Structure 1
Amino acid sequence: MTRNNQQSIMLVDGMAILFRAYFATATSGYIRRTKAGIPTNAVYGFVRYFWDAVQTFNPSHVVCCWDLGGGTFRAEEFAAYKGNRSEAPDDLVPQFALIREVVDSFGIPNISYQGFEADDCIGTLASHYSEDMNVTILTGDHDLLQLVSPQTSVIIMKKGHGNYKVYTPESLYEEKQLLPRQIIDVKALMGDASDNYPGVRGIGEKTAMKLIQEYGSVESVLENLNQLSASVRTKIENDLEMLHLSRRLAEIHCNVPIECQLDGCMLELDQFLITSKFEELEMSSLCGLIGVEVV
């Protein structure tokens, strides 16, 4: 069946949603499994989260982007990048391949590129598609707010099923008094504990936000060091190299050598492929959610 609506494309941050789906149920101690013992709780939850977003935002086209195992250019530049992350839970690991099979059954392209993160693939595709149509990005990762533009909205999944915050340039500025590109500069100053890069030691989010709101950019902050308090000026001067490195790590690259033709990501559901995959994974109850019949 084909969804008839004004053309727009949703770029899905696959790993962010898969991890969210896994931990939403794993913390309760229950892991959904097939009769053969294959864990499927993250896959099941992913489909529910994903389909709710599709129903809510009604895209005509969808692409799902993924992180790959192995190093990235950021880890090459800063060895400790994401070095604080623990290994994925054993019950989640086999679901990495399963969810890509499910996304395939929906006729949705799975996009990734070795050496880059899903964020970079999303940024590249958003830059490309926004020339011709509206783009939405589905994620739980605030790093992607730097991609907001008049043509690109970022949908942040909030706590609770079906709870979203949609960021446009206007709503981003209203909430944070920042322009999208300034998200990068704030992270350059304050660092990112989740991604394990420090920024300028001793400068937290509050000071970083204040500096960028007042001066506009890292460059302007550096040009006006003599106007800063002695404490803040000293911290920046002592960590200039890490400031610039953190900025490079924070910036999403929008020139990954990937291609995804628009015709190939129109959301057209093949009932047989979807129901067959759901039955294989023993989650036929999702057929009713998607609106396809069990064959």
Structure 2
Amino acid sequence: MKQDRKLLLIDGSSMLVTAYYGMIPPAYRFAKTDEAKKDAYKSFMQTSSGVYTNGVYTMIKQLLKLIEDQKPTHLIVAWDISRDTFRKKIFSDYKANRSASDVPLIEQFATVQDVLKAMGITQLMDVNYEADDFIGSCAKKFEKEIPTYLLTKDHDYLQLVSDHTRLWLICKDAKEYQEEYYDKDTINFPPSSIELTPRYVKDIFGLHPYQVPDWKGLSGDTADNIPGVRGINDKTVIPLLQEYDTIENIYDAIKAEDKKGKKELLAFWKEELGIKRNPMNYMLKESEKDEEGNILNYHGEDAAILSKTLATINRDLDILFTLDDTELEIDTEAMNIKFKELEFTSLLK
């Protein structure tokens, strides 16, 4: 393996959304009604022909700086382009809590994808899958050929960290984590991020990367409307997974006990694992079902297994291109044409 090579896999949706909201005008930021927000669209950065560009400009500027600083030799950007993915088919309420995106943001997805295409950057998207599925599959396919790095603010990606794949996790507590866990003289991360190896995932979050779906399975994820087991939280979940490793093992331990044994198990959890509140009733609560046995409302073990399934990144998608196809060779001429179209004069090379 050539150590001077580096594959960078970017969650494009995460990067664009962050860039978009980082460059919204005060009129939008402080608007108190939907009507006022829509009225503020006119103050967004846009071309003379009315093409919204605040997110595109910021993302491309950040990407060019990232390439300059980190010097990836290979680059892939993956996108979420639909909420009706295979996970929605498994659980109809998946991400159902999310409101519709702003029109200016929606329009900028196509714009920035067009810019990246002109630059010659490999992109992946499909209505049936999410960006993390593509990135997980690419990491699995290429990580043993080339050092692999992931960039996102999505904690789901923790499960993809391995001996060959590192995660640059963008987070609000990055500075505090850097001060506590890293040697400042060796830090060379993208802004507002930490670099996670399997050891750092365990040190910072208390679990191994492979346990992240189990963690989400029990605790849930409000951002994606993954239910988890209602009534329990990380203070219960982390110690249980540290002791039993997986959701399945936890439930096997519970089911192996009779009534008296369950009381003894609860005592063990309290005295040895530090779990103060009794989670057993929540964990054993039965799901609500119709007369035909179809689940109407998930609880307990059903909710845990469903949520683990939803939180598990699919790493087995068919990636049809080779590593050589992702080599980073920016088409500067085509890029500059796009920059001129979008009136990004400060980015011209």
Under a length normalisation based on structure 2, what TM-score does the superposition of the two structures give? Answer: 0.78
Task: Specify the alignment match of 2:81 in structure 1.
Answer: 68
Higher relative contact order (CA 8 A, sep 6+): 1
Q: Distance in 1 between matches of 2:70 and 2:198?
A: 18
Counterpart pick for 1:155 among 141, 164, 168:
168
| Residue identity in the other structure for 1:22 | Y
| Residue identity in the other structure for 1:76 | K
Counterpart pick for 1:193 among 222, 236, 244:
222
Q: Distance in 1 between matches of 2:278 and 2:236?
A: 12
Task: Specify the alignment match of 2:292 in structure 1.
Answer: none
| Residue identity in the other structure for 2:21 | F
158-167 vs 181-190, which deviates more? 158-167
Task: Specify the alignment match of 2:279 in structure 1.
Answer: 232
Task: Specify the alignment match of 2:305 in structure 1.
Answer: 244
Task: Specify the alignment match of 1:258 in structure 2.
Answer: 319
CA positional deviation for 1:70: 5.1
Secondary structure of 1:228 counterpart: helix
**2:82–2:128 contact (8 Å) kept in structure 1:** no
Aligned pair in 2 of structure 1 residues 207, 89: CA closer, same or farther (>3 Å)? same
| Residue identity in the other structure for 1:188 | G
Q: Distance in 2 between matches of 1:55 and 1:204?
A: 41
Task: Specify the alignment match of 1:105 in structure 2.
Answer: 118
Task: Specify the alignment match of 1:184 in structure 2.
Answer: 213
Secondary structure of 1:224 counterpart: helix
CA positional deviation for 1:111: 0.5
**1:113–1:121 contact (8 Å) kept in structure 2:** no
Counterpart pick for 1:277 among 338, 341, 344:
338
Q: Distance in 1 between matches of 2:204 and 2:44?
A: 37
Under a length normalisation based on structure 1, what TM-score does the superposition of the two structures give? Answer: 0.91
CA positional deviation for 1:27: 5.4
Q: Please say which structure displays the higher CA radius of gyration.
A: 2
Q: Distance in 2 between matches of 1:182 and 1:54?
A: 32
Count of matched residue positions in the alignment of Structure 1 and Structure 2: 285
Question: After the TM superposition, which residues 17-56 of structure 1 pair with which residues of structure 2 at under 5 Å, given as runs?
Answer: 17-26=15-24, 28-29=26-27, 31-56=44-69
224-233 vs 15-24, which deviates more? 224-233
Secondary structure of 1:171 counterpart: helix
1:78 aligns with 2:91: yes
Secondary structure of 1:248 counterpart: helix
- 1:183-211 C-alpha deviation (Å, 9 max, x unpaired): 11111001100000211010112211121
Q: Distance in 1 between matches of 2:65 and 2:337?
A: 21
- 1:76-134 C-alpha deviation (Å, 9 max, x unpaired): 11110000111110111111111101111221111012311111011000000112111
Task: Specify the alignment match of 1:207 in structure 2.
Answer: 236
Task: Specify the alignment match of 2:186 in structure 1.
Answer: none
Q: Distance in 2 between matches of 1:9 and 1:254?
A: 17
Task: Specify the alignment match of 1:133 in structure 2.
Answer: 146
Q: Distance in 2 between matches of 1:178 and 1:210?
A: 9
Task: Specify the alignment match of 1:286 in structure 2.
Answer: 347
Secondary structure of 1:136 counterpart: strand
**1:17–1:49 contact (8 Å) kept in structure 2:** no
Secondary structure of 1:184 counterpart: helix
CA positional deviation for 1:5: 8.0
| Residue identity in the other structure for 1:267 | L
CA positional deviation for 1:69: 2.3
| Percent of pairs with identical residues | 33
- Identify unmatched segments of 5+ residues in structure 2: 28-42, 175-189, 255-261, 268-276, 286-299
Task: Specify the alignment match of 1:7 in structure 2.
Answer: 5
Give the CA RMSD over aligned residues. 1.9
